[in-house]
Amino acid sequence: MRQLVHSLPEGEPVCGVTLLTGELYLLRARKERDQVEVFDVTSYRLLRCLTVPDIGSVTDITSCIHYRCVYIGNHSGECVHRLDVQGAFFTRWTVNDKPRCLSVNAAHNVIVACPFVRKIKEFSSHGDLLRNITIPDDVIDPRHAIQTRSGQFIMCHGDRSNPVHRVCMISADGRHIVHSLGRRPGSDTSQYDWPQHLAVDNNEFVFVADINNHQVTLLSPTLEDARQVVSRQQLKGPPNRLYLDTQQRLLYVALRVWIDNEYKGRVAVFSV
């Protein structure tokens, strides 16, 4: 099992976590102001809070070191907000569908999972639609997609009402499932129960946030081997977002915790 390094304070639910230029960005839900909290990545001291203009129901946050910016998914507004870190300046561009989770590929473009239309959309940093990829029919309710260096996509899918909960590798054109793990929801090693978010390391091993099993698992690059790396006892709540710092080998896990009859959010940091 992985060692807990630090735990950030509880607050409003956390919809995403990412790192950029030595700073840790937390995206909080249910807030009219100060939705983004920025911490020092070494001391975990709160540095500042940022207010996203015209934000609705937020879904995820990711970052791009090449363009030195942060992207935030807006479900209700069907758009992505872009924060230029150097100028602390927000812009937005439309997705024309409800975005779920975000990632950035090797070409520095933004990958957006759109579950209601079963598509992966690829945008430039400034919102130009580059590709619109339809995924296979049996990949229902995609949550998060990450593009590998070979061009294929790692994707988790399945909501509470869906009969199939899996992690899949999908071909670059979106037409075929190359590898997969999982089927019916369950708690066995080869099963998932609402896989929500992913992180991929430099060797393309895949970390999976498994909400209802309250664990994080690690899959081989071909999704053939799975093992638990962060347990229910360590998490003390369901994990819903991940971020992997590949240089420091730290895994940031955003959690939903039930306190005083409502959900709160916190982030636990594990060495990997």
Residue range 171-190, pLDDT digits in tens: 999 999 999 999 999 998 88
Mean pLDDT of 190-202: 96
In CATH, what number is assigned to the domain containing residue 222?
2.120.10.30
pLDDT at 32: 87
Confidence of residue 53 (pLDDT cuts 50, 70, 90): confident
Work out how many domains the chain is built from and give that number: 1
pLDDT at 259: 81
Buried-exposed string 25-44: b where 16+ CB fall within 10 A, e elsewhere: bbbbbebeeebbbbbebeee
Residue range 153-168, pLDDT digits in tens: 999 999 888 999 999 9
Q: What global pTM score does this model have?
A: 0.96
Q: Which residues span the domain enclosing 110?
A: 3-271
